[in-house]
Structure 1
Amino acid sequence: MLLAPPSADAIASVIELAVAPVFLLVAIGGFLNVCAGRLARIVDRARAMEPVILAARGAEHDQLVEEARLLDRRIRVVNSAITMAVLAAVFICLLVVLLFVTGLFQVDLASVIALLFIAAIIAVGSSFTIFLVETRLATRMVRVPSRLLFHEAED
């Protein structure tokens, strides 16, 4: 049995439904750009620290190694945020495809579409939460020591 080709109105309706998820894709793309920029800066800082760590001794060496460990952790955390954001984007792409399949072939995939949307929002929320962890790590890294905040110059 052949299906009748969908009408232009049916296709227009599917396109209207697909527009909102596509805007979410654009937002995720912007977020991925922010994450990639942060990752690049962290990696650059870690690479710049390598010769300094190798040349340092004593307490300075220990402090630099601790900073390098924190940079390594931040790299892993940002990568996790990127992974979750990309996963959300993949879910949204699948959702848009299924919207078109539903509209063009009159197949009822409403439950699958709803579950994909829920999964995408959970992945986006997870990505934002992981990103918050990374920004907290970065803040901890650049805190000004209290010995400097309350330092007074000698007369």
Structure 2
Amino acid sequence: MIVEFIASTNIAEDLLQRTASTLRVQEIVRLSLAPAFLLAAIGAVMNVMMARLIWIANRIERLEEKMADVRTEKDTRELARLRRRRKLSQRAVMLSTLAALTICVVIALLFISAFITPQIGTITAIAWILTMVFLISGLVNFAAETYVAASGQSKTGAEDEGS
């Protein structure tokens, strides 16, 4: 059924006419550049988030090994703080990943809009808004994690918190 739909000469001709204009394709590419740059920025921020998450996970592992032999009150407090940081970091990474996925949907919708007759501006706008919600939420969680790291470091005098 789908093959017949695509094979229809009317649809094929319609698609060719809609995309034959170099100016129209250039406009779509131009419109998709801002979301593509945002996608690159999200990736850069996620790289920092992942580095922190890996450091936290390694620190938890080392601390748990140490606590198997000797358990101190300071280590117990630090472990609880590290687990809170890990939870915030994981949430920040997941929300940022969702932002990256939805920005990819925005880019795809921008290109699809050139090939179809129905207007999908509302769907594209909703995807953009979802991207912003996920990105803001991820950044808030990342900020909370850095706050917990900074407040815990001054209280416990822990060694380098990593980056």
TM-score after normalising by structure 2 = 0.82
Tell me which residue corresponds to 1:128.
139
Residue 79 and residue 8 in structure 1: after superposition, are their counterparts in 2 closer, same or farther (change >3 A)?
A: same
Aligned to 1:149: none
Cα distance in 2 for residues equivalent to 1:27 and 1:9 = 28
Per the alignment, residue 68 of structure 1 pairs with 79
- Would you say the 8 A contact 1:11–1:104 is kept in 2? no
Paired with 2:62 and 2:148, the residues of 1 have a C-alpha distance of 19
Cα distance in structure 1, aligned partners of 2:102 and 2:42 = 12
Give the residue type in structure 1 aligned to 2:126: L
Where does residue 25 of structure 2 map in the other structure?
11
The alignment's TM-score, normalised by the length of structure 1, stands at 0.86
Task: State the secondary structure of the residue aligned to 1:108.
Answer: coil
Q: Please, which of 10, 13, 26 is the counterpart of residue 40 of structure 2?
A: 26
Match of 2:154 in 1: 143
CA gap of 1:145–1:98, structure 2 versus 1, over 3 A, is closer
- Once the 2 structures are TM-superposed, how far is the Cα of residue 16 of structure 1 from its aligned partner? 0.6
Give unpaired runs (5+ residues) of structure 1.
147-155
For the pair 1:42 / 2:49, whether they are aligned, the reply is no
User: Which deviations, in whole Å up to 9, do the C-alpha atoms of 1:47-88 show, x marking residues without a partner?
Assistant: 11123212225xxx1220111111111111100000110001
Query: Quick one: distance in 1 between partners of 2:15 and 2:87?
Result: 51
Stretch deviating more after TM superposition (61-70 or 92-101): 61-70
User: Which residue identity is paired with 1:14?
Assistant: I
Indicate the residue corresponding to 2:111 in structure 1: 100
Q: CA RMSD in A?
A: 1.6
**Displacement of 1:145:** 6.2
Instruction: Write the distance in 1 (CA, Å) between the matches of 2:36 and 2:117.
Output: 22
User: What is the number of residues matched between the two proteins?
Assistant: 143
Is 2:85–2:149's contact at 8 Å kept on the other side of the alignment? yes
Give the C-alpha shift of residue 4 in structure 1: 4.5
